[in-house]
Amino acid sequence: AQSVTQLGSHVSVSEGALVLLRCNYSSSVPPYLFWYVQYPNQGLQLLLKYTSAATLVKGINGFEAEFKKSETSFHLTKPSAHMSDAAEYFCAVSDFQGAQKLVFGQGTRLTINP
Amino acid sequence: GAGVSQSPSNKVTEKGKDVELRCDPISGHTALYWYRQSLGQGLEFLIYFQGNSAPDKSGLPSDRFSAERTGGSVSTLTIQRTQQEDSAVYLCASSLGLGGGYEQYFGPGTRLTVT
């Protein structure tokens, strides 16, 4: 069974500082990995996805993530935080050849301090 | 183009009543998914459709939950005899196909409150 662990349910950074949101996954087969963002009272929006091509994946809004098989990690980073980045972030994994139902982590709420 | 839409956006119902939640996927998307988001359980997969068939119903929490999809488009999630633990945000997503890393596009959700 696949699973995702997000370390830190709440992360707070200052505007302009580095954002690092941690995600570790468990999968018996090569995974697809995703990061989604959820703004208040909205649905989920895809930030980026890893599908076995380049291990460093660039997404929208300046975010990127690096797939590290040896560490089973897919951490999300952004060099300089902006106030508009405040939201909840979800890491998810799906089957490589399955129905692609997503298994989500518990989420990390990102707060940006002015 | 239009995204995934869900209705109603909010639903308050009394314990024991039945509710129907609707999802309109993006036109041309053959796959449709239902997820539930609650404080205690996070985001959970409920069911998915490929066309009108539902090969995987493993995530449905109980036999009070059912879903159907007609015409390869609109889907309805029905909860019978609602319980307070059913209170959650129900999210629908659609994608062009299954597998291959197809992106799932999410709707805004239906917030269900059972009193």
The per-residue pLDDT for B101 is 73
pLDDT digits (tens, 9 = 90+) for A93-106: 886 556 678 899 99
The per-residue pLDDT for B41 is 80
Q: B1-24: string of b/e by CB count within 10 Å (b at 16+)?
A: eeebebeeeebebeeeeebebebb
Binary contact (A101, B4; C-beta < 8 A): no
- Please report residues of A whose CB lies closer than 8 A to that of B30: none
The per-residue pLDDT for B86 is 97
The per-residue pLDDT for A97 is 59
- Could you give the CA distance from residue B106 to residue A71 in angstroms, rounded to a whole number? 30
Binary contact (B98, A42; C-beta < 8 A): no
Binary contact (B91, A43; C-beta < 8 A): yes
Please give the distance of CA B73 from its chain centroid, rounded to a whole number.
Answer: 13
Binary contact (B42, A42; C-beta < 8 A): no
Binary contact (A104, B4; C-beta < 8 A): no
pLDDT digits (tens, 9 = 90+) for A39-85: 988 889 999 998 877 889 999 999 999 999 899 999 999 999 999 99
Q: Which residue stretches of chain B have pLDDT < 50? A: none
The per-residue pLDDT for A95 is 66
pLDDT digits (tens, 9 = 90+) for B76-97: 999 999 999 999 999 999 999 8
DSSP for A19-82 reads: EEEEEEEE-SSPPEEEEEEE-TT--EEEEEEE-SS-SEEE-GGG-EEEEEGGGTEEEEEESS--
pLDDT band at A31 (very low <50, low <70, confident <90, very high): confident
The per-residue pLDDT for B13 is 98
- Please report residues of B whose CB lies closer than 8 A to that of A87: none
Please give the distance of CA A53 from its chain centroid, rounded to a whole number.
Answer: 17
Enumerate residues 6+ apart whose C-beta is below 8 A from B40.
Answer: none
- Please report residues of A whose CB lies closer than 8 A to that of B36: none
The per-residue pLDDT for A42 is 85
The per-residue pLDDT for A98 is 60
- Could you give the CA distance from residue B10 to residue A56 in angstroms, rounded to a whole number? 39
- From B50, B104, B107, residue closest to A102, measured CB to CB: B104
Instruction: For an interface test with B, give the residue of A6, A93, A102, A106 to mutate (most B CBs within 10 A).
Output: A102
The per-residue pLDDT for A99 is 62
Binary contact (A49, B103; C-beta < 8 A): yes
The per-residue pLDDT for B1 is 57
Binary contact (B101, A99; C-beta < 8 A): no
Among chain A residues, the shortest Cα distance to B103 is held by A46
